Structure 1
Amino acid sequence: MESLNSRSSQATAAVCMSVVFICVGVPLWWKTTEVYRAELPYTEIQALSQSTPLTISAKVEVHATSHAMLRMCKDIFASQDFNKELKFTRTLFTFKINAAPLNNDDTQVFENAKNTEADAVFIFTHDVMMPKISAKNNKLIKISVAEADANQEDIQKSIEIALDILRNDLMHLQYVDDVVGKALAVKLDFPKVREYHMRKTIQPDKGYDLLFTLICPKPGELQASWDIHNAMKLHLYPMLEKLGSYAKFHVESQILYYCDMPVKPQKFDDGHILRFSQLPHVVNPVESRLGAEMSANPTLNFVLYLTEDKYNPLYIERQDRNISSTNTILIPRWGAITMKKTNKTSAQKPRQLELNAEDFMGAFLAQFRSLLGLETNGRENVVFEQSFTEGITDFELDYLMRSRSAENIASSIHTIHSLAKLLEKIQNIVIKDEIARLCYLAVDQINLAKSALARGELNDALTFSNKAFEASETAFFDPTLLELLYFPEDQKFAIYIPLFLPISLPLISSLVNALKIWKENKKQKLE
């Protein structure tokens, strides 16, 4: 009887230990080892990823000098489908069509167009001169139809030309659509021209460094100087001031010596030539000497290379095998290198050369515009007035802001959607409150940017989209997500089995013995 009581006590102790282990130990272990995961706006992120196409708004004022033009403008503009061939964006045009009889002096109309809130202003007028189309005061397009030949067919053709200018020259709808598709990481086949345009255009960033470099490879033969600062003050700074709402730019200049030509040009006619296949071997060694790490911002390099006497004159071969008329190598998203021929003016060594930087600033600005994604309009019978003082017109600035806003929105949506999918898939990654805050901030700013872009408020759209882009990128690349704070399931077994096995086996055997004792006691009571 005493032995039976002792065994019963052992069974009771085993059950109590098992209960304590299961009800207290396991929950305590579970709580102390659980991964902290702040709540993320998964529903809102999923809704954003399915909210294409992106809506873009534009206001257009149309002035017609005759009732026939007025009626045709209303009919043709209303029947146009501006969104054909667009996959990721949808443009909503608001047309304000007025009858505006103009006299021979259109000065006041052009002056009023400077202060308009519209994205484009079209004036259709009769002219005793030949038909012509001119873009003046940046956003104003004047289309003149010869008075003697003003029939319905001519008017309709002029209106269709105006719509094509609006779509492809002012708004660049196809380029904006391509940028959004690329930011969403959609695989598309682009024509070569559009693909090259996207490949050379600089990536979104909050700021850029511009580095202007003069290279004198043989200072023992030639020593050169340039007054680059005055040229910048006259030509570059007005353009950068106008681009202030688009991005921040930091400008530096330098003169480098002893930077020899890394490849040997081939003999060609009266001089030498750099073949297209040799150009990559020229750029890489030059880049290593520039020392362009001025900040964390991407750097755009503009290099003027004074060729050595033994290679003068030096030509550059383009990809199509023709000779470059500008002697410039344009490198997508990097900058440009211009080869400058130097003349032997005397036998004295070293020769002194004073360069007029204004002679090259026009080329530098053209290269800068190309890297920004601004294309020079080359339409037949269409004259686009250039902005000589600022280097960029109003409608070009609007296009940059519209394109960058759309790209930022699409890129932010893609980034936080990828982050949300990753965190949903791997449940053991720690999600700190800061990550959640950034995700909520990105979602809010994306919605604000989309609303502003749909209303045509480009400044607000760019501001909100920049904040969304920065928040989404910061969240995605947060260091806490890159640390090894999680383990795959098979590694968990390898870690926890040596911990729980020594404890669980005695408990299991004790519970089995307790069950046997309980059955024996029950059997004895029945007898």
Structure 2
Amino acid sequence: MATDGSIIEKESDVSCLNPYMTETRKRLVIASFWVVVLLGLPLWWKTTAVYRAQLPFAQIDSWVDRKACQLTFPSTFVVHLASIADADPKAHNHPLDYPTIENAIAASVDQQIYQANTQQCVEFPLNIEIKEWRITSDIIDLLKHTSEQREKSTIGRYDIFLAPQLPAPTSTKRAHVKLGNDRSMIITLREWTTSDIEESTAAAIATLLQEERERVQSIACDNELRERSNLDGLRTMKFSPMYQMTFSLMNEDPSGLQVDWDIEDAVNTYLRPFMSEVSVISNFSVDSQIQHFAQLAVTPQYMERQKLPSYYYLTPETLPHFINSAEWNLASAISTYPTINFILYIPAQNKSPLRIHNSKGQPVRSNAFLIPRWGGIVIKNQPKALTASGALAFGKEDLKPFMEIFVAQLRTLIGIHDLKKIMSPLETSHEISYESAPQTAVTVTELDAVIKQRIAENIVNSIATLKSLAQLVMDIPNMVVLDHIRTEVEISLDSLEQACQALQQQDYMKALTHSISAIERSEKAFFDPTMVSMLYFPDEHKYAIYMPLFVPVSVPMIMAVVKEFKEARRRRKEAKSKTD
């Protein structure tokens, strides 16, 4: 019995130990599963997270707040005062106080330009230097004298030559101003006095700079960092280092007229010099085409006149709908750069002559119009007498008047302003004349103003693009930001800094180069395809993908832990009841 009893006791001990060993093993199994999950969650989170290189947000904010660098557009005017060797000292050779005249001219220019200006986002330092100009009393040909005194001209540096009108005044106005094509002007005064020197020089400088500075200031001081909304901004093409220029000859009715043109020779003769001159800002590629059956998208109205030829006409309200986008193939597949279109349109015989009316109901003499940020159109009516073959061929000389219109339209599209219109306010008190227009169709002074305007546009647009990029990255946490995006942003910021420093040193060409680099790099970063591909992949998508995997695994594990807690609580209660 004892033996049997001992055996029974051992079996009882084993039966008591087996449940304990089973519960321990079960807990270890549950714990091992949870350890794997807890260790795997960070790894899963890391492997499923998108890569985001750290962008220099602080630097971008400093440019947005205009704290990174003060934009300055300095100008230097070297005033050459005539000292006439053979003149009567009592009449025209009074000693002049140069420092006083310099300060008086600078103060007068500032007063005329900034009398209503309260914005300080951009500065326009003005430096006046006065030098003696030794000439003889024979000053009829002043250009010969000035050519010996002119220094190497750079953007922002101008020469003004002042002399009395000898032997006698030739104008009833205070002075005569002659503008050259090489950043120079000659002013001859009726009265050779200090006050006339100061007032005429200050008036000429202020008139030359005022409109240019207003345009630069309107761009640089845009608090919202957006494109201009004024008329000038709406007409001008957005900056691009390259433009695709397309010339199209549109023939509405080829059944009655066959057309052809020597556009290549005309472009090389009349347009190529202009494109070469403005290539410092943007380059151009040119192509041409001839399209037949070019039907209008609008119906011209008919003007019947007594004793005068009747004609068809288009009103200003219908001109925006002139382009038949559905049927005219004007899209360029050659380049991805912005396209500037120029169209020579020949209407059908039953719609000729076709003219354009202005807002006053009068025919436009050029029979041409401009479409802002798109291009220009010239309407050429069919001649009354055609050849027997019914063909019309435009040679180089025939295209000259049309090319002149196209060049004028192109000047407007790229932001060139007519120097004569700029200087027109000075005509009230001064007589103005101009040197012969260059073959390039743009003066150096006009080109300088465009360069300054483009520098301001590029800097502001670069800052605006970087601001949008930073805002986009912060608003969308799951957007991919690779290392090359950060590199492009850093290069753009560095180019902005170098452009600003170049402006302070009055090196406009260097500033233009860096501003172009800034806008190109910022747009390259903003439109990078690696970022756009993840724009619409929020966290909700990630959860939707992994929920079918995690839920089936996590529910049994959570239920096992809950069951184990309940079992442990039950055992504690049983153990407590036994002790009691």
Provide TM-score, normalisation by structure 1: 0.87
2:270 to 228, 235, 251: 235
The equivalent position to 2:163 in structure 1, one of 121, 125, 136, is 125
Name the aligned partner's letter for residue 249 of structure 2: L
Gaps of 5+ in 1: none
Q: Return the offset for 1:418.
A: 1.2
Paired residue for 2:183, among 132, 136, 139?
Answer: 139
Structure 2 partner of 1:74: 103
Question: Separation in 1 of the partners of 2:554 and 2:321?
Answer: 68
CA distance in structure 2 between the aligned counterparts of 1:18 and 1:223, rounded to whole angstroms: 85
8 Å CA contact 1:122–1:141 kept in 2: the answer is: yes
Q: Tell me which of 146, 164, 174 is aligned to 1:109.
A: 146
Match of 1:453 in 2: 503
3-state SS of 2:317 partner:
helix
Secondary structure, counterpart of 2:248 in structure 1 = strand
* Cα distance between partner residues in 1 of 2:241 and 2:51: 32
Whichever residue aligns with residue 108 of structure 1, its letter is: H
**Cα distance in 2, alignment partners of residues 279 and 476 from structure 1:** 36
Identity %: 29
Partner of 2:365: 325
Q: Which SS does the other structure have where 2:124 is aligned?
A: strand
1:438-464 CA distance string (max 9 Å, x none): 112211122122222232222222222
Q: Which amino acid aligns with 1:296?
A: T
Q: Which amino acid aligns with 1:30?
A: W
Q: 2:250 aligns with which of 205, 215, 218?
A: 215
Query: Residues 205 and 320 (structure 1 numbering): CA distance in 2 closer, same or farther, change over 3 Å?
Result: farther
- Tell me the equivalent position of 1:368: 410
Counterparts of 2:259 and 2:542, CA distance in 1: 68
- Of 93, 96, 108, the residue aligned with 2:129 is 96
CA distance in structure 1 between the aligned counterparts of 2:470 and 2:480, rounded to whole angstroms: 13
Structure-2 separation of matches of 1:6 and 1:91: 88
Name which of structure 1's ranges 512-521 and 152-161 shifts more when overlaid on structure 2. 512-521
Distance 2:328 2:391 in 1: 27
The equivalent of 2:8 in structure 1 is none
- Matched letter for residue 123 of structure 1: F
Q: CA deviation at 1:470?
A: 1.5
508-517 or 133-142, which deviates more: 508-517
Q: Which residue of 1 aligns with 2:12?
A: none
**1:278-293 matches, cutoff 5 A:** 278-285=318-325, 288-290=328-330, 292-293=332-333
Q: 1:227 to 1:86 in 2, by over 3 A?
A: farther
Give the counterpart of 1:18 among 30, 34, 43.
34
Residues 5 and 522 of structure 1: is their aligned pair in 2 closer, same or farther, counting only changes over 3 Å?
farther
| Post-superposition CA distance 1:479-526 (Å, at most 9, x none) | 111224764344444444443333333333444454556664699599
Contact 1:63 1:124 in 2 (8 A): yes
Following superposition, the deviation at residue 476 of structure 1 comes to 0.8
Number of matched pairs: 517
SS at 1:357's partner residue?
A: helix
Q: 1:347 & 1:110 partners in 2: Cα distance?
A: 54
- Map 1:217-296 → 2, pairs under 5 A: 217-268=252-303, 269=305, 270=309, 271-285=311-325, 288-290=328-330, 292-296=332-336
What CA distance in whole angstroms lies between the structure 2 residues aligned with 1:223 and 1:313? 17
Following TM superposition, by how much is the alpha carbon of 1:57 offset from its aligned partner in structure 2, in angstroms?
Answer: 2.6
One-letter amino acid of the counterpart of residue 19, structure 1? V
* Deviations, residues 61-109 of structure 1 (Å, cap 9, x unaligned): 2223465584334223046265635564322233323243544143232
Give the corresponding residue for 1:432: 482
Deviation string, structure 1 residues 129-177 (Cα, Å, up to 9, x no partner): 2221121133112222213xx45654444133223223135xx111122
Partner of 2:65: 50
Higher gyration radius (CA): 2
* Structure 2: distance between partners of 1:220 and 1:487: 57
Matched, 1:40 2:49: no
**Letter paired with 1:15:** A
* Structure 1 CA distance for aligned equivalents of residues 301 and 457 of structure 2: 43
- Distance (Å, rounded) in 2 between the aligned partners of 1:121 and 1:91: 18
Aligned mates of 2:554, 2:382 — CA distance in 1: 87
Amino acid at match of 1:196: L
CA contact (8 A) 1:42 1:420 kept: yes
Contact residue 499 and residue 515 of structure 2 kept, 8 A: yes
Q: Does structure 1 conserve the Cα–Cα contact (< 8 Å) formed by 2:252 and 2:292?
A: yes
* Pair 1:358 & 2:396 matched: no
> Aligned runs of 1:373-388 on 2, under 5 Å?
373-376=415-418, 377-378=420-421, 379=424, 380=427, 381-385=431-435, 387-388=437-438
How many angstroms apart in 2 are the aligned matches of 1:112 and 1:240? 30
Cα distance, 1:522–1:266 mapped onto 2, change above 3 Å: closer
Partners of 2:47 and 2:201 lie apart in 1 by 72
**In structure 2, the residue corresponding to 1:100 is in which secondary structure?**
strand
Which moved further from structure 2: 375-384 or 81-90?
Answer: 81-90
1:330 positional shift: 0.7
Task: Provide closer, same or farther for how the CA distance between residues 346 and 207 of structure 1 changes in structure 2, counting only shifts above 3 A.
Answer: closer
Q: State which drifts further: 41-50 or 179-188.
A: 179-188
Query: Matched residue of 1:387: which SS?
Result: coil
> Could you tell me whether the CA contact under 8 Å between 2:368 and 2:376 is conserved in 1?
yes
Q: Secondary structure of 2:417's match?
A: coil
In structure 2, relative to structure 1, the CA distance for the partners of 1:298 and 1:101 (3 Å cut) is: same
- Aligned alpha-carbon RMSD (Å): 3.1
Kindly state the Cα deviation for residue 264 of structure 1 after the two structures are TM-superposed: 3.3
Instruction: State whether structure 2 residue 76 is matched by structure 1 residue 59.
Output: yes
Q: Identify which range, 461-470 or 73-82, moves more after superposition.
A: 73-82
1:4 counterpart = 2:7: no
Q: CA deviation at 1:261?
A: 4.1
- CA gap 1:501/1:231 in 2 versus in 1, 3 angstroms: closer
Q: Partners of 2:220 and 2:293 in 1: how far apart?
A: 44
Q: Distance in 1 between matches of 2:241 and 2:331?
A: 21
Q: How far 1:423 sits from its partner (Å)?
A: 1.0
Give the match for residue 88 of structure 2.
none
Q: Provide the rounded CA distance (Å) in 2 between the counterparts of 1:312 and 1:120.
A: 51
C-alpha distance 162-85 of structure 1, shift in aligned 2 (>3 A): farther
The alpha-carbon deviation at position 196 of structure 1 amounts to 1.6
CA distance in 1, matches of 2:79, 2:333: 49
Distance in 2, Cα, partners of 1:285 & 1:14: 70
For each residue in 1:28-80, what CA deviation from the matched residue of structure 2 results, as whole angstroms up to 9, or x when unmatched? Answer: 22222222111211221122212266322333222234655843342230462
1:472 & 1:461 partners in 2: Cα distance?
16
Greater displacement, 73-82 / 285-294: 285-294
Q: Check conservation: 2:357, 2:364, Cα contact below 8 A.
A: yes
